[in-house]
Amino acid sequence: MTARAAFWRGVLDEAPLLIGVAPFGLVYGVLALASGLSPWQAFALSFILFGGASQIVFAQLWAALAPVFVLAGSVFVLNLRHVLYSAAMAPYFRALPLRWRIVLAYFLTDEAFAISISKFQSQPDMPHKRYYFLGTGLTLWSGWQLSTLGGIWLGDLIPPALNLGFAIPLTFIALVVPVLRGRAELAAAAVAGVVALLGQSLPWNTWIILAAICGIIAGWAVDKTQRGRV
């Protein structure tokens, strides 16, 4: 397989995921403007931050006038999961020149990671892995930027009665429910979900950070007791 073929293989493998990403980006664009961000700021978030869930939370917290440390802290906690992806990709990309690793890290999203890692694990000897990953990452990136722009442009045309914003929790449900296999995952989800509800009136919208940390601790603790019993 040539580098070019590997790149296009990545593009083709990633493309079906855009069906789910497009409405998400559209909703983000609409929500960002409704939150008081300018079109440029809404687009800059897609370009600079490039992370769907954290962009939505950023917009919501911005609308709620949360202070800077809560904004940045929430985004940071939300995106901590990327450390795991980065670690999983490291064996394949560690030997590459630094400029390649910087570029690939920028494209390391949930969706590009999911497609690439399953490919690399099933075909460990595949040549030109970096080009394959670039294909998946660039495809997702283009879909996200275009659908964001679509939301920014067409925002006014989408009737509020459609409740399109509900697509966001639904997307997250689709991602979370299938991984709730063990008691530890269930505990993490339940505690985080309940603390998020109870913490709504906390100052500066710190509930997201607090709920996430409580959920992580709950999952870790249950996992630890299970581990101890074995």
Partner 1 sequence: MIWAVIILSGLLTFAARFIMLSPLAPKSIPDAAARVLRFVPVAVLSAIITPSVFLSGGAAVPLWDAQVIAAAVAAAVALISRSVLITLIAGMATLWSVGYFLG
Rule CB under 8 A: which of 159-188 touch partner 1? 162-163, 165-180, 184-185, 188
Nearer to partner 1, 2 or 179 (CB): 179
Please give the size of the binding site for partner 1, defined by CB under 8 A: 88
Hey, CA dihedral for 42, 19, 111, 160, is it positive or negative?
A: positive
Q: Where are the alpha helices (DSSP H) in the chain?
A: 3-14, 18-34, 39-44, 52-63, 68-79, 82-93, 98-106, 110-122, 129-154, 167-176, 183-198, 207-229
**By CB under 8 A, residue 65 contacts partner 1:** no
Rounded Cα distance between 200 and 74, Å, is 15
Question: Under rule CB under 8 A, which residues in 76-115 are in contact with partner 1?
Answer: 76-87, 89-90, 93-94, 98, 101-102, 104-106, 108
Nearer to partner 1, 2 or 226 (CB): 226
To the nearest whole angstrom, how small is the minimum distance from the Cβ of residue 209 to partner 1?
A: 9
Rounded Cα distance between 59 and 24, Å, is 14
Question: Under rule CB under 8 A, which residues in 132-161 are in contact with partner 1?
Answer: none
User: Which tokens sit at 102?
Assistant: 């910087």
Q: Are 26 and 147 in contact (CB under 8 A)?
A: yes
To the nearest whole angstrom, how small is the minimum distance from the Cβ of residue 18 to partner 1?
A: 10
Question: Under rule CB under 8 A, which residues in 113-132 are in contact with partner 1?
Answer: none
To the nearest whole angstrom, how small is the minimum distance from the Cβ of residue 96 to partner 1?
A: 8
Q: List the end-to-end C-alpha distance of the chain, in Å, as a whole number.
A: 46
Nearer to partner 1, 1 or 71 (CB): 71
Q: Give phi and psi for 134, each to the nearest 5.
A: -60, -40
Q: Per-residue contact track with partner 1, 8 to 47, x per CB under 8 A?
A: -----------xx--x-------------x---x--xx--
Question: Out of 157, 159, 197, 229, which residue is the one contacting partner 1 (CB under 8 A)?
Answer: 197
